[in-house]
Structure 1
Amino acid sequence: MFSAVFGSVEQGIIYAIMALGVYISFRVLDFPDLTVDGSFVTGAAVAATMIILGYHPLVATALAVIIGFLAGCVTGLLHTKGKINALLSGILMMIALYSLNLRIMGMTSENSIGRPNIPLLNTESIFNQFKSFWGSLGIDSAVNNFFSMLGVQYLPATWGTLFLMALTVLFIKFVVDWFLKTEIGLAIRATGDNKRMIRSLSANTDTLIIVGLGFSNALVAFSGALFAQYAKFADIGMGIGMIIIGLASVIIGEAIFGKKTIVRTTFAVIAGAIIYRIVIGQALRVEFLDSGDMKLITAVIVICALILPQYIEKRRERSRKAKRHAERLVQYHSLSKGGATVAETRPD
């Protein structure tokens, strides 16, 4: 069980980067961007193709981020300059990226025909290189011995991957926090809150939307590039439902940890992605459920995350009203016993 949870945490951290991108588009910009399902695969396809062609994994990952940024910018251009509905802009870009991703992965074949998947079993990746460095430090054996003393079995082969992912997602979180507090970031947040207001201050809302969507999809593509290197493959269908996973992570995190500040919200999104993957991993261990039920489980989790906070808040509000009513009754009876008859003290 510990090994399964460990794997879920690793995947959750990777998906957390994608969830931060979804948070920027859906929460900050208030833009229903469905490009995510395509740009996630774009990041994976670009990284896998570049690695197969012999480029360094860091270079491949950086290029994936750039292509993801451009894909988001195109979605923004379709909406702002082409005057296409926001939802339709994302759908059109997602459809276009499907064919582009096939072409990108087809660059690894001799005839350059579209290719649906690329295996990365015997190739170098960021994680392989970091594992070699991590293993040379001898930390894995020390940590595993510690857990063995506690009676924990089925330990992972290396802790280096988790450490690298944790550092990466924390760095991305700090970058997002910093970006949203810059002048451009504040303008993007204002655009999502009230486009007319920020436009009245002579801000170019079209440019802000384009930059915001570009940054969002750059994070999504970065997540896809890391996932391809982690899972050792890139597939044309791996992006299906990514927008739902991102939204589930955002909703779960906000419901549990709140969203009072940017720093707290980005932490909540990361935690939400990890919790989501752990819940999915444990749910699939139930005997009557299989991998085909994952979308249903996701839908149930999102529904619960949306309904439960409202139900809890209503109960709290009723409790507060009942408490205030009881206090007024006590005050009224105490004044009545003292001979006072003040109308304002009567309970509602």
Structure 2
Amino acid sequence: MTNSGLAMNAAIVKSGSSATPVPAEPELVERSWLAELHMRYRPDRSGRKTVADLLSVCGPLKVQRGFYPEMPAKADRLPPAVCHSYILHPPGGIVSGDRLAINITVAHDARALITTTSATRIYRVDERQVPQRQKLKLEVASGATLEWLPLENIFFAGSRADFDTEIILHEGSALFYREISCLGRPASGIPFDESAHSFLRQRLRLMTAEGSPIHEERIAIHSDNMRNRAQMGEFSVTGSLLVHGFQSAQLDSFTGAVHASLLDELRGTIDAAFPDSTACLALTSKPGLLICRYLGHESGEATALFDLMWHQLRPRLLGCVAVPPRIWAT
């Protein structure tokens, strides 16, 4: 695994930037498109599977009915089978002034896997430079598991995105959280910093049900620091996979971090799978949490890296092999 992954960790948490999104004027707020989605996952009455309750929905966000590719033939399945859900954003992208709010709750003993049907495109803002905003809140109850595995976000040159994620983890819960950000469209010759208005701010907070912090990171990228080695270093794709919910036997009794032997095993797997990669690949741990990072040029490589870690770690955390959503094969 490349040592330059250490620089990538620094890029992820760096937040010092004087650039801020331009606030929307009242009349622009009125014409913005608000989309809200509030869902709850819970075991059904039989206890055989997890079902999704659509508590409220507003605007262009949709959810397909649940799929159960992991449903066994036996009726005494414990815990409930995982519900695979696909979130759709019918317009195909987020335009200037759009505001998205997604609230997902996974109840006690429920098991949910959520992905998207396609990459999410965040387009160039209008002449008023009104930013796009997304608020994501995930809560995982005791004994529950959530696998949040959306496809990549593509931030076009001239987009001004403000994305905020809050994850609440109750004791005894498990989480796989994946996020991949593609800045600009280099393959089309349109880098993120082509526009002086390009801006991306992302915030991520993991906390306990009591409000104690588990992990927090922030990143602010604009056209002036895309090529700064302490930020993106001329790379255009960044991604993270956060894994939480290891058993006590898998954690160091003193530090609470994932055992060094497991980290070494995973690093060996990464080195064998990506021997010629020019990206920065990093694997780190803090109490109860494993973090896999990607900084490079290929969203497909980032996806492959995180899929590899998901396949390696899912049996250890959830007691079952990884079953990719069918939508990924289309």
TM-score (norm 2): 0.29
More RCO (CA 8 Å, sep 6+): 1
Give the structure with the larger strand fraction: 2
Give the structure with the larger helix fraction: 1
Name which one, 1 or 2, has greater alpha-carbon Rg.
1
